[in-house]
Amino acid sequence: MSEYKGIHGAKVQTYSTDPDNPINGQVWYNSTSNVLKGRRIVNSWATTNSLNTARAYLGGGGTQTSALAFGGEPGSGTTANTELWNGTNWTEVNNLNSTRRNVGGCGADNTNALIMGGFPGYVAITEKWNGTNWTEVNDLNTGKRNMGVTGTNTASLVAGGALPASTAQTESWNGTNWTEVNDLNTARSELAAAGTTTAAIAFGGTPSSALTELWNGTNWTEVNDLNNGRNYIAGSGTSTLGLAFGGTSSPRGYTETWNGTNWTEVADLNTARSALSGAGTQAATLAFGGELPSVTAASETWNGVATVTIDTD
């Protein structure tokens, strides 16, 4: 203990439960379990239970332990299939009202999701998930596909997409209606987004773009690029703590973390793929579906940080 204080300038703190947001390298004593613990960066993907239906170009949203996968292309054509993730397994639940792929999707957890746009054609249809059923709600102002999407079923942001040419259009959802807001600086499709309707990040896109833009609730600003430009990419997290993974780059499993200023390359997906979906945070993400080039049902969990027990023997 005295050595730790000499190095870090503070004693090891005692908690009855583990702290909510420990920083990397922090050490504490859990008085309930009588264990000395610490936080360290892991940055690794682990294979977990697969989707019931293999597919690419699907939508998704939620967290690493509570997510939803919907729509997509199961090898050919389109599907309305929806699956719910409980942290361990995928379970088929009620289908979308409209069968489609190349969709946009987001959500807070497996009881809260939104799907919009897609193929065939350039769809404007929007549906909201309440934990049991999908309900059609007000359409996008402009039908499109292959957008970057982030948010929940009451507050969502759609950036870019194809109409069929790439677009810079941005639309904001308030739970009832879509409103056109200020455009991206660079038109593109097949991109990813993360964050909220007032603080978001959009990155990647066609053709194999490394471009990254930040949204402050009013305008987009170009910031530092991805290290590896790619399209059909997936993302998660926030505008200051983001994760980009997969896509049509080489290798397809390429993963990068965003710290609010720069992207850093970290560990690759175990199953390299593009046209996948994801849900979660920079520290804890779920990746699922995609193609490599055939469609896959593969699911993986990303652990950016972990709480570990410190051996005191």
Question: Which residue reads 């289908």 in tokens?
Answer: 95
Angstrom distance (rounded) from CA 263 to CA 84: 31
* Contact present, 90 and 51 (Cβ < 8 Å): yes
pLDDT at 2 over 50: no
Tell me what the mean pLDDT of segment 95-115 comes to: 98
pLDDT, one tens digit per residue, over 53-103 is 999 999 999 999 999 999 999 999 999 999 999 999 999 999 999 999 999
Can you tell me the distance from the alpha carbon of 298 to that of 212, in angstroms, rounded to the nearest whole number?
27
At 55 the pLDDT is 98
Work out the pLDDT band at 15, boundaries 50, 70, 90: confident
CA gap 238, 174 in Å, rounded: 19
The C-alpha atoms of residue 23 and residue 108 are separated, in whole angstroms, by 24
**Average pLDDT of the chain?**
92
User: Which structural domains are found in the chain, ordered by start?
Assistant: 2-42+305-309 (no CATH), 44-302 (2.120.10.80)
Single out the residue of 105, 23, 49 nearest to residue 301, CA to CA: 49
The span from the CA of 159 to the CA of 182, in Å, is 10
pLDDT at 272 over 50: yes
Determine the average pLDDT of the residues in 23-38: 75
Residue 19 has pLDDT above 90, yes or no: no
